[in-house]
Amino acid sequence: MSQPFDRACQVPKPAELDESLDEFWSGNVFDIQLSHNLSGYERNRTFLNVGGENFVDVSFSSGADSDGDGRCVVPIDFNLDGQQDLMVRQVGGGPLKLFQNHFPRQNWLKVSLRGVESNRLGIGSRVVAKIGNRQIVRELWPVNTFFSQAGSSVHLGLGTGEKVDELFVRWPSGKQQRFNKLDANQHVLIKEGHSQLSVVKPGEKMPF
C-alpha cells in the first residue's frame, strides 16, 4: 500500500502479486476503502501490569485475543464478586464478549458518590485510600470509549489489606470528607457533606 503526498496520485505495483495469497495492491491509501476493507480482522490484545514497572502480554493465555476487532473495553464487576471483569464491544465475532476475572481473589473497596453542591454522581471527585504506608489515588471520571461508558463508581484494589485506614474524598465543590477504619470487601455510598456513609448490599436499592 502506498501513501503518497499527493492524494490524487496512483503509484504502480512494485511487483507481480500472488493472488493465491490474497495479496492486493492499493496505489493510494486514500482509495483503499473503495475496493478493500481491512477493518474487522484485528486481534484484541491484553497486557498485565506487573507491579507498576512493566507489562506482560497475556493475550493468548487469558483467552481475550479474539479476532472480533474490539472497539471498546469497560471494566465491570458483572457477577458481584468484587473482582473487575471486562466487557468488550466488537465489530465482528459477536457484538459483546464478557471476560470473567479468574485471578486469585484479593481485597477491594467500591465507592459510589452522591453530590449535593457538586454534580449528583460526584464526577470529578478525587478518592484517596490509605492502607498502612500505601496510598491509592483515583479520580471519578467514567471511562468513555467507542459507544460505551464505564459506571460512575470507584473500584479500589486493596491487595492483602483488610481495612482502609483512611478514605479521603475531595469533591468538585471543594468540600472534603474523611472516613476512618473501613472494612474491605464492601460497597459504600458517600453523600457530600454527610458524616456517615452507607453500605450498599448486592441487589438492594441505593439508599439515596
Strand, helix or coil for residue 20: helix
Residue 172 is given by DSSP the state T
The grid coordinates of residue 127 equal 478518592
**Residue 73 contacts residue 95 (beta carbons within 8 Å):** no
Fill in the DSSP letter of residue 104: P
pLDDT at 23: 77
pLDDT in tens, 117-173: 999 999 999 999 999 999 999 999 987 777 788 889 999 999 999 999 999 999 999
Q: Residue 77 and residue 73: Cα distance in Å, rounded? A: 13
| Beta-sheet pairing, 107-114 with 186-191 | parallel
pLDDT for 12 beyond 60: yes
Distance CA 6, CA 28 (A): 9
Catalogue the long-range contacts made by 198-205 (C-beta closer than 8 Å, 24 or more residues apart).
Answer: 200/112, 202/80
Domains of the chain plus CATH, in order, are: 47-99 (no CATH), 107-200 (2.60.40.1110)
The larger pLDDT score, comparing residue 41 to residue 110, is at 110
Confidence of residue 3 (pLDDT cuts 50, 70, 90): low
Percentage of residues in the chain having pLDDT higher than 90? 48
Q: Are 44 and 14 in contact (CB under 8 A)?
A: no
Cell representation of residue 68 = 472480533
What is the rounded CA–CA span in Å between residue 144 and residue 151?
Answer: 10
The 10 Å CB-count burial string (b at 16+, else e) for 71-105 is bbbbeebeeeebbbbbbbbbeeeeeebebebeeee
pLDDT score, position 52: 79
* pLDDT over threshold 70, residue 192: yes
pLDDT range class, residue 199, cuts 50, 70, 90:
very high
Q: Please state, in angstroms and rounded to a whole number, the distance separating the CA atoms of residues 9 and 94.
A: 38
Q: Give the C-alpha separation, 139 to 124, whole Å.
A: 6
What average pLDDT does the chain have? Answer: 86
Q: Using pLDDT thresholds of 50, 70 and 90, give the confidence band for residue 5.
A: low
pLDDT at 109 over 90: yes
Per-residue model confidence (pLDDT) at position 37: 60
The stretches of 20-113 forming alpha helices (DSSP H) are 32-35, 59-62
Half-sphere exposure of 162 (CA within 13 A, CB side): 0
Confidence of residue 14 (pLDDT cuts 50, 70, 90): confident
Query: CB under 8 Å to 155, separation ≥6 — which residues?
Result: 75, 77, 84, 108, 109, 110
Predicted confidence at residue 33, as pLDDT, reads 59
